[in-house]
Amino acid sequence: MAGVTLSMQLKRLLPEHPGFRLSGEQLVILLEIALLGAVGLIPPDRLDVPATVLVSFVCALQVEGFRTFGDNAFASTMCTGNLRSATENLNRYFNSKDPALLKKSLQYFGIDVIFATGVMIGYWATRLCGTRAVWWTLLVLAALFLRLTHEINQVKQV
């Protein structure tokens, strides 16, 4: 509840402060980076409860902060709903032959492939680095932050 609330409030309040340079999504990413960085600092023998709380909070921020791609709803922290949407759109395509449905289906399948790839990388990173493997996610989040910043700057220039 706290992660969803914070994410919603950031996105609601920031447009009211036009001098503030970061978007709600950018702040969510920076908060995720800070919290997951902190998880990597927790000693492995004391990891369970604080790490679970922090990662759950980050997941709540993520789920609320990033709910769509284009005009499509999606889940950024789990693949089950995305797989359902991919399959549903594929079946609709087979019935209608509407290429937009095929495109949407393939986009959802692509999200699931990326998710599964992340799971595999996470597995190997954990085998190599133990609990410090969480820091690998900081690279992905930093790349996402930079891409989002670039997209925002492009929109502002238009």
Instruction: Quick: pLDDT tens for 66-120.
Output: 888 888 888 888 888 899 999 999 999 999 999 999 999 999 999 999 999 999 9
**Identity of residue 38:** A
Can you read off the two tokens belonging to residue 33? 């980076």
Q: In this structure, what are the phi and psi dihedrals at residue 122, rounded to the nearest 5 degrees?
A: -60, -40
pTM of the model: 0.81
Instruction: Quick: pLDDT tens for 108-155.
Output: 999 999 999 999 999 999 999 988 899 999 999 999 999 988 888 787
Res 158: pLDDT: 64
Res 66: pLDDT: 84
**By three-state DSSP, how is residue 69 classified?**
strand
Give Cα separations from 37 to 42, 100, 106, 110 (angstroms): 9, 40, 33, 28
Res 68: pLDDT: 83
What average pLDDT score do residues 16-26 get?
Answer: 74
